[in-house]
Structure 1
């Protein structure tokens, strides 16, 4: 963890933040046709060489498979899958300012980023001339914006369909000046946590710095109100290379955590906010966190139990089954409980980072529902 202002390790960095007020700008949405959204073949359109992506999409546009809206708008996007619904405002987040103090920050990262990955994404987006999908920001939104969204949803959506993956989408364009002003005033003082897209966000910042005063001053963003349609926060489990249960037990004793060996069934049943589970594939151990200051299981694991574990020593898993399968005599898997939003709220309040891949926000929207062509904004808009 790096406290605000601390220097991160050389291979990671803390993304900067635009200063208040927050500005979410209208843009001319680019949309794939419903049969192309979440279609496995669609990925080929965004493959190398990236400079040809715009040409491929233009060809699809000629074939009626891509639509470009002529008039800029903010978009209310609602998507549903597996009984969960997420709803958010999509626009171009203005990035041309930089916060110099914690209180000025409007966007908070909950984990550090790898500079080379952000550099590669920035180069890729520049070659494409577009933001192929929005990053996801989560916040506690104001009641005025929630009420406006409900009013917008009283009319028929501009687009409604189910994509190839089974996600159901509804889109409303927002162009009314009074409604845009309500949104602008409501979001101006907001503080956002990056839910998905840390490296793409860092790439946005790089592109803004390289091309100031152009449409690269903005990056495509979806803003989700956790008081309205909260994401499901899932755990991301770990497998630690070159570790043993005995070494983990010794480390736990050194930080006043208690351990006990149990059966697999007992271990999985014990997993909870203050309890970790470790296995080498044969034996199972429960690790109970010590009493003390409020610390999440993932923070305790990386900051106290295994503070020397480097990125090369860890493999991440989104399911318990994957983590258990990866466990061996020299590859110990640690199962983590699902975090809650208070973990992210504390990170924003204290201005610090969480361990890498501390949580997984689900569900994420399918690629192609809304994209932003920066190249089209560099050109004069076509006449009606």
Structure 2
């Protein structure tokens, strides 16, 4: 993709609102099954019909009343808990003080348009976008009290991910959650293009349905997401090119052996290598800027040769595997900290493309939202066989 086409998505204006909705839930025995992904596959205009067929067959449960949901999932020992509801996207912020939802990366307009078309055809939000915030202490306490009751749903999916789900429908609880969320903001951790698609759909067809989009808000102070780095490979630029560019913009460099360079990788320090030569780059540690900004704003523009392209890699091993061929240099980055992400978005800046990796994401199928739901005429559930939840062995 041409990085020149990246734009800042619009900002949703406060108050931050997460409304109850009647969730669709894939049968626990099918969550995590790759075959279940075919429910949302092309042709997208057929998805709504497939969803209704699955609902009739008992493979999808449609909640009888609108609720908020507290969804807890554990992947590879990391537990994440989030509040899931229908995010109000009907208002646009005209100045920074009005913003309620804060993107930290730009989006490609064409990709957002394609996703909007797809969701319009499906009449479905197949998965929540992932938002993160430091929730107010009273909200954290309220949700902790809700978890004192046994979860309505508890299972281990086909991929080995453990889930617990509480439904929140008490009017007083919902009212209190709304009051506590309203003055807060949330950062988009995952789903920037789906967020932009929500806004496009709302602009095309304002009113019930597209005025909202499915979202999960995770409290960083309760169950923080793992935040990892996304490393770079500079194609067409050598380690020597990187060293010369660094010196020209005042970035201290230090050559060394592989073990020394990797041990030095830390906040404020990058590592450049072609798997033969290893170079430490001291860009400096700052709470209001991230190391990847130094790479893209200072170092890359100063390169005398290349890069002809930049590729992104979620693991250092993968980046190193692509380095060393025809003047190809891996740039290993430290993981940004959540506090840095907050500072950047509050300063009304965006990160470079693919700068963060928030994990783990909520698995597909646990909670879905039908955009135009029949709130006044819920379908009668079909007879269902009693199925035991799968337990860990």
**How would you bin the TM-score normalised by the shorter chain?**
over 0.9
Corresponding residue to 1:222 among 205, 216, 232: 216
Q: Moved runs in structure 1, 4+ residues, more than 4 A? A: 290-294, 308-312, 377-380
- 1:166, CA displacement in angstroms? 1.4
Q: How far, CA to CA, are the matches of 2:300 and 2:254 in structure 1?
A: 18
Instruction: Judge conservation of contact 1:256–1:290 (CA < 8 Å) in 2.
Output: no
Instruction: Judge conservation of contact 1:109–1:193 (CA < 8 Å) in 2.
Output: yes
Alignment TM-score, normalising by the size of structure 1: 0.93
Q: Secondary structure at the match of 1:22?
A: coil
Matched, 1:359 2:368: no
Q: How far, CA to CA, are the matches of 2:229 and 2:178 in structure 1?
A: 34
CA RMSD of aligned residues (A): 2.0
Instruction: Judge conservation of contact 1:215–1:378 (CA < 8 Å) in 2.
Output: no
Question: Residue deviations 1:307-328, cap 9 Å, x none?
Answer: 3799971111111110000102
Alignment TM-score, normalising by the size of structure 2: 0.91
Partner of 1:212: 206
Moved more, 369-378 or 81-90: 369-378
- 1:288, CA displacement in angstroms? 1.4
- 1:343, CA displacement in angstroms? 1.0
Change (3 A) 1:293 1:171: closer
Q: How far, CA to CA, are the matches of 1:306 and 1:103 in structure 2?
A: 33
- 1:17, CA displacement in angstroms? 1.8
Q: How far, CA to CA, are the matches of 1:295 and 1:90 in structure 2?
A: 31
Q: How far, CA to CA, are the matches of 1:204 and 1:292 in structure 2?
A: 34
Q: Which aligned pairs between 1:146-295 and structure 2 lie closer than 5 A?
A: 146-290=140-284, 295=289
Instruction: Judge conservation of contact 2:268–2:285 (CA < 8 Å) in 1.
Output: no
Change (3 A) 1:293 1:168: closer
Corresponding residue to 2:338 among 337, 341, 358: 341
Corresponding residue to 1:370 among 367, 372, 392: 367
Corresponding residue to 2:323 among 317, 327, 330: 327
Q: How far, CA to CA, are the matches of 1:25 and 1:308 in structure 2?
A: 48
Structure 1: gaps of 5 or more residues: 1-8
- 1:59, CA displacement in angstroms? 2.2
Partner of 1:143: 137
Matched, 1:73 2:67: yes
Change (3 A) 1:383 1:65: closer
Partner of 2:391: none
Matched, 1:87 2:81: yes
Q: Secondary structure at the match of 1:180?
A: helix
Instruction: Judge conservation of contact 1:144–1:182 (CA < 8 Å) in 2.
Output: no
Partner of 1:56: 50
Instruction: Judge conservation of contact 1:215–1:377 (CA < 8 Å) in 2.
Output: no
Partner of 1:120: 114
Q: How far, CA to CA, are the matches of 2:96 and 2:265 in structure 1?
A: 35
Change (3 A) 1:354 1:76: same
Change (3 A) 1:112 1:364: same
